[in-house]
């Protein structure tokens, strides 16, 4: 009977996992750096039905709406802070809205830790 126990650790599976993660990171970085990710929104070839949940809207003037009620950014932060982070969140932004308004809302949502976010688009070409 062999009483030595383990004499080493097999690192091959760990290396395989790390190589897959490295490939994913490099591929994603290539798309972002090369500008290959389409940004012609809110129109999309296919539009998915969003799960019912929280709705944040940004109208043409940049006014924020939460669940149908006009709201400012700090009130939106307070309202979203009270919500479950696992609940789906739908962002509806007018195509003419200033990009910075959209980015500010997205940053706020990410800062609060929401994990299920969708951007509603309209079907068309």
pLDDT: which is higher, 82 or 55: 82
43-123 in CATH: which number?
3.30.420.270
Of 69, 122, 66, 118, which Cα lies nearest the Cα of 90? 118
- The Cα-based distances of 68 to 17, 63, 71 in angstroms read 45, 11, 9
CA 96 and chain centroid, separation: 21
Q: What is the C-alpha separation between 75 and 84, in angstroms, rounded?
A: 16
* 5-9, 77-81, 119-123: the lowest-pLDDT one: 119-123
Q: In the chain, what is the greatest distance between 2 CA atoms, to the nearest angstrom?
A: 79
pLDDT, tens only, 6-59: 777 888 888 999 999 999 888 777 665 544 333 334 555 555 555 567 888 888
């Amino acid at each position: 009977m062999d009483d030595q126990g383990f004499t080493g650790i097999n690192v091959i599976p760990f290396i395989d996992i790390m190589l897959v993660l490295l490939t994913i990171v490099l591929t994603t970085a290539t798309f972002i750096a090369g500008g290959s990710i389409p940004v012609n929104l809110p129109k999309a070839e296919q539009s998915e039905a969003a799960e019912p949940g929280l709705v944040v809207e940004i109208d043409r003037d940049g006014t924020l709406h939460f669940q149908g009620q006009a709201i400012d950014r700090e009130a939106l932060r307070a309202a979203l802070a009270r919500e479950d982070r696992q609940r789906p969140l739908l962002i509806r932004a007018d195509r003419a809205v200033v990009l910075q308004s959209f980015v500010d809302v997205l940053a706020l949502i990410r800062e609060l830790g929401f994990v299920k976010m969708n951007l509603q688009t309209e079907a068309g070409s």
